[in-house]
Homo-oligomer: A and B are copies of this chain.
Amino acid sequence: MSELFLRTLRDDPADAEVPSHKLLIRAGYVRPVGPGLYSWLPLGLRVLRKIENVVREEMTGIGGQEILFPALLPRAPYEATNRWTEYGDNLFRLQDRRRNDYLLGPTHEELFTLTVKGEYSSYKDFPLLLFQIQTKYRDEARPRAGILRGREFVMKDSYSFDVDDDGLRAAYAKHRDAYQRIFDRLGVRYVIVSAVSGAMGGSASEEFLAESDIGEDTFVRCLESGYAANVEAVTTAVPDPLPIEGQPEAKVYDTPGTPTIATLVDWANATLDRTVTAADTLKNVMLKTRLPGGDWELLGIGVPGDREVDDKRLEAALEPAEYALLDDADFARHPFLAKGYIGPKALLANGVRYLVDPRVVDGTAWITGADEPGKHVVGLVAGRDFVADGTIEAAQVRDGDPSPDGAGPLVSARGIEIGHIFQLGRKYTDAFEVDVLGENGKPVRLTMGSYGIGVSRLAAVIAEQQHDELGLRWPASVAPFDVHVVIANKDAAARSGAEELAATLDRDGFEVLLDDRTASPGVKFKDAELLGVPWVVVVGRGWADGVVELRNRFTGDKREIPVDGAAAEIATNLR
């Protein structure tokens, strides 16, 4: 440490908000260079490389072959898939001296696809699994939390290429297993969440979220069954249909001044002979979606009045279609839309596509708009008085909602996305027409999977999950050193004994950080706690009595071990 390029800081950096960011700066692991741009100092780089190596080992273990693309990429392939445009402001674009367009790669689907197309031409060449561990660039609108969301970052991205769906599913399953091994080895607490709803293709897309209160992703899970999903991907537990027979006829009421759910519920409780809640009302939200030709089409969405339409879920449900709320001009163009009093009937009668929340099963009766200003209808029964065009997963998800597997209530939590596995299918092989000769002599279009891990982000995630009030704590798999030997005794014999102990451990194959500085023991202990090497050996006062102290940075346990055979004893703990 007397030579290590390191200066620890006593105070938190002014602009740091989350613990991992504060500690990684204070402990001298990283330094800011610009918004979302960080340099890795020696300790940080050691952690980063160890994470990379764990990822590399597991990717190689499932047959992945490592390659490396440039980060600076020509525009053409990204133009072909429209991502040059789609990425919007998130893409770093530049021109070279000849005014040709380039980009800094945010992800490399295009290049992998084109490379495989360039090399391989027969079904015999597959399955194929390629990966890279590479620097990526995204011009985030709000880079935050240090290396947690940077603009230059290290990612492992891999892609599977198969001639059939079974192959894709196998590659996906292998990745899923490998990712679990990776995150387990890294000591990360994580949840695998469905990233698309069951309706859209089952487990074809899952995210690995590290549990963290500072995470930007909200997910829900059922503690009873282990079901977990992104909010976008949660499927609603569908109630059984109710009998239609015997239900009273729908009746239209004058409900002046009740354009909102709250005013409507007040009116109902004052007028009807029963207790009414917002959940008894059916709110119809009007949107327009853009058709392939560019025209807009009306879309009505009916959700129970106690729930808002969730933007993220709506977007995921309609993806890739563009949509917008109706403006005044739209309402003016469609006079059958009685704003604040819209009901299913006018929509269906006028040919408007109408989708409802899955809770709106046959036999449920609703208080909803009667399609005239100041009028509502009570007892409008689904399956009798109206039949929607289908269902849509757009209503907000709430803690306590039943899990779709029926096992219990859902609870929400926050997480940081650390991995994503995705059965991409033929989007890119279609774009680049990647066919190979099939076993039957006919061309086969390849199908792809896309799999990512945020490698540099993981350093922050581990710091975030494992730190305590004293500083960082690194699992052995990624710790910058295996053991931290602190010389806390000015006696020359103690000092040389500590140096010898460090040298012995080094010879035994351990990475040793030796604090040989002239600083006080107190300063050294504080730094050891801050730096977070998992095992600390203190050569201190006990030296005279023939003992050194072995500290476990995770448990805080301290115990004295005899100097004789100390290296072997320490090694036993480290292995």
Interface size on A, residues (CB 8 A): 50
Nearest Cβ on chain B to A352's Cβ, whole angstroms: 37
Q: Which residue of B lies closest to A116 (CB)?
A: B5
Binary CB contact string for chain A from 61 to 98 against chain B (1 if under 8 A, 0 otherwise)? 00101111111111000000000000001101110110
Nearest Cβ on chain B to A575's Cβ, whole angstroms: 21
Check B31 against A139 for contact (C-beta < 8 Å): no
Check A152 against B72 for contact (C-beta < 8 Å): yes
Nearest Cβ on chain B to A440's Cβ, whole angstroms: 20
Check B67 against A45 for contact (C-beta < 8 Å): yes
CB of A324 closer than 8 Å to a CB of B: no
Q: Which residue of B lies closest to A161 (CB)?
A: B5
CB of A363 closer than 8 Å to a CB of B: no
Nearest Cβ on chain B to A291's Cβ, whole angstroms: 30
A130 CB contacts on chain B under 8 angstroms: 5
CB of A137 closer than 8 Å to a CB of B: yes
Assembly of this chain: how many copies?
2
Known: A73-B37, A119-B5. A68 touches B45 (CB 8 A): yes
A65 CB contacts on chain B under 8 angstroms: 4-5, 42
Q: Which residue of B lies closest to A63 (CB)?
A: B3
Which of these, B7, B93, B119, contacts A7 with CB under 8 Å? B119
A323 CB contacts on chain B under 8 angstroms: none
Which of these, B3, B39, B67, B72, contacts A70 with CB under 8 Å? B39
Check B72 against A137 for contact (C-beta < 8 Å): yes
A48 CB contacts on chain B under 8 angstroms: 68
Known: A5-B128, A94-B94, A97-B139. A33 touches B63 (CB 8 A): no
Chain A 33-54 residues near chain B, CB threshold 8 A: 33-34, 37-42, 45, 48
CB of A111 closer than 8 Å to a CB of B: yes
Known: A31-B118, A135-B135. A37 touches B72 (CB 8 A): yes
CB of A120 closer than 8 Å to a CB of B: yes
Which of these, B5, B45, B89, B92, contacts A72 with CB under 8 Å? B92
A104 CB contacts on chain B under 8 angstroms: 72, 94
Cα separation A128 to B41 with both chains bound (whole Å): 13
A7 CB contacts on chain B under 8 angstroms: 119-120
Chain A 132-178 residues near chain B, CB threshold 8 A: 135, 137, 139, 141, 151-152
Cα separation A63 to B40 with both chains bound (whole Å): 18
A496 CB contacts on chain B under 8 angstroms: none
Nearest Cβ on chain B to A82's Cβ, whole angstroms: 19
Which of A68, A92, A128 gathers most chain B CB within 10 Å?
A68
Check A71 against B71 for contact (C-beta < 8 Å): yes
Known: A5-B119, A33-B74, A73-B33. A67 touches B42 (CB 8 A): yes
Which of these, B4, B42, B72, contacts A151 with CB under 8 Å? B72
Cα separation A93 to B99 with both chains bound (whole Å): 12
Cα separation A71 to B42 with both chains bound (whole Å): 17
CB of A115 closer than 8 Å to a CB of B: yes
Nearest Cβ on chain B to A64's Cβ, whole angstroms: 10
Known: A5-B65, A39-B111, A65-B42. A70 touches B152 (CB 8 A): yes
Binary CB contact string for chain A from 1 to 24 against chain B (1 if under 8 A, 0 otherwise)? 001111100000000000000000
Cα separation A63 to B31 with both chains bound (whole Å): 22
Cα separation A137 to B459 with both chains bound (whole Å): 26
30 cross-chain CB contacts under 8 A: A4-B65, A5-B65, A5-B119, A7-B119, A7-B120, A33-B69, A33-B73, A33-B74, A34-B70, A34-B74, A34-B102, A37-B72, A38-B70, A39-B67, A39-B111, A42-B67, A45-B68, A48-B68, A70-B152, A72-B104, A72-B151, A72-B152, A89-B97, A90-B97, A92-B94, A93-B94, A94-B94, A94-B104, A96-B151, A97-B141
Sample of 10 more A-B contacts, CB < 8 Å, known A33-B73, A71-B135, A72-B151 = A7-B120, A34-B73, A39-B69, A39-B70, A42-B65, A90-B97, A92-B94, A92-B102, A97-B139, A135-B135
